[in-house]
Amino acid sequence: MNKVLVTGGAGYIGSHVVQQLTSRGEYVVVIDNLSSGYREAVQGAELVVGNVGDTALVASVLQHHGIDAVMHFAAHTVVPESVSDPLKYYGNNTCNTRNLLAACAEAGVSKFIFSSTAAVYGLTAHGVADEDTPTQPANPYGRSKLMSEMMLCDHCATGAMRHVILRYFNVAGCDPKGRIGHSAPSATLLIKAACEHAVGKRESLAIYGTDYNTPDGTGIRDYIHVEDLATAHLRALDHLREGGTSLKLNCGYGHGYSVREVLDSVARVGGHPLNIVELPRREGDLGMLIACSDRLKQVLDWQPQYDDLDFIVRTALLWERKMVSKRVPLSSVA
């Protein structure tokens, strides 16, 4: 049986991928240090608590389970924090990825799927990026991920393995059935934060920057539902198993929504107005960034199922309401 190691599989995106993998009968092992993930989010897979930078631990897991492919999600992802504490991001995102690759090389792992980000592009000429757009990240988070991409590509160039790099745009929403969701404390992702406010977890909601060169002055982003993103990972795994070549692929819908449009959707779906505070721009933020994801659709035959802003918001709001109904601290739930 093919066996998959998922690093960071107890976190938001990783747990949704694990759920899809196990649902189709895959043998999955998760390594997660639970710094921002939760045991309860790992469903149908074995959880090993530890750090992906621990080469000895990873080597043991790879050998013991006979791992055939690795999906690497474990990372810090908050842009403002990366600006204030860049070494934290280079240490966890870049150095730990190097250690993980070293363990994979020693174990002979032949397939690697890397969780990357649109932040590797930085400021683009028209706010749109395809895979050939020059990479010029505007913050340490994006640079830490780009360095990891470069290491992975250099390693694969030796013939040791093949890879798929998936560059995420703005991931949002939760499992439509409400089984797992996004529960990281102090979340900064817009739809997550807005839905927390809608259910009373936050007193207000901030818009950072209202003077961008966009129709309503607020930043525009390409929002992709986490389930569609998870499906892209399974397609990538199938591609590598079928002998496909290494790839870099954007993951987005190819159109964007402004911050105000997103908040209007949350108010509409939630059924009440939001208490919005307007604040200055944050360092490292961009005015607009939208994916050209034609290559993902063409090469992997990926077709999104949930390309609807109100649906994305509805699934995120469903999860937040479920957490409120449990009446337990956010930090103790999956």
The residues annotated with a catalytic role in the active site are 141
Give me the torsion for CA of 210, 173, 145, 78, rounded to 10°: 50
Backbone angles phi, psi at 276, to 5 degrees: -105, 135
Instruction: Please compute Rg for the chain using Cα positions.
Output: 19
Backbone angles phi, psi at 328, to 5 degrees: -125, 155
Supply 114's token pair. 């890397």
Beta strands in the chain (DSSP E): 3-7, 27-32, 46-49, 69-72, 111-117, 128-129, 162-168, 170-172, 205-208, 220-221, 223-225, 247-251, 257-258, 276-279, 288-291
Given a contact cutoff of 8 angstroms between Cβ atoms, the answer to whether 70 and 99 are in contact is no
Contacts of 329 (CB under 8 A, 6+ apart): none
* C-alpha span between 249 and 244 (Å, rounded): 14
Backbone angles phi, psi at 299, to 5 degrees: -80, -40
